[in-house]
Structure 1
Amino acid sequence: MRDIIITHQPVELYKILKFEGMARSGGEAKMFIEQGEVLVNGAVETRKRKKIIAGDQIQLFDDCARIVLDEA
């Protein structure tokens, strides 16, 4: 599992998938979410704009990440 550092929260789920390279584009990220391919904290998440905060865990296929807030 890798850490994704964010500087502010919340961040929309599809944006994290897009900007962290888990999906090639925002459209692909939204498609994965709609199809039920994304897990947030172990549960299927189908809301594209789900607000993600520090401590959340995201999984897309075999790519797992934990969200960490950079408070510096």
Structure 2
Amino acid sequence: MRDVRIDGDMIRLGQFLKIADLVDTGGEGKVLITSGDVRVNGEVDLRRGRQLRRGDVVEVMGRTARVA
């Protein structure tokens, strides 16, 4: 698992996927989210705009990053 620092208190799931290098493009992130391939804290989340906070863990296709 990799820790990814963010500016501020929150970040949207779609943005986090890109800065954490879990996806190459926003379009790829959108497809993975709507397909149910993204988990936040162990649960599938279908909302691209989900607000993530420090400590949240995001998993995409076996790769994991934590909001730091």
Structure 2: state its 5+ residue gaps: none
Most deviating of 4-13 and 42-51 = 4-13
- Aligned partners of 2:13 and 2:52 also within 8 Å: yes
Equivalent pairs, count: 68
Q: Which residue of 1 aligns with 2:23?
A: 23
Q: Which residue of 2 aligns with 1:4?
A: 4
Question: Structure 1 residue 34 and structure 2 residue 31: aligned?
Answer: no
Q: Partner of 1:6: helix, strand, or coil?
A: coil
C-alpha deviation, 1:65, in angstroms: 1.1
Q: Post-superposition, which runs of at least 4 consecutive aligned residues in structure 1 deviate over 6 A?
A: none
Output one character per residue of 1:14-71: Cα deviation in whole Å (capped at 9) or x when no partner. 1111122211100110110000000000000000100011010000011111111xxx
Q: Distance in 1 between matches of 2:22 and 2:48?
A: 14
Q: Distance in 1 between matches of 2:31 and 2:18?
A: 11
- Aligned partners of 2:20 and 2:65 also within 8 Å: no
Q: Distance in 2 between matches of 1:52 and 1:67?
A: 7
Code of the residue aligned with 2:17 in structure 1: it is L
C-alpha deviation, 1:10, in angstroms: 1.2
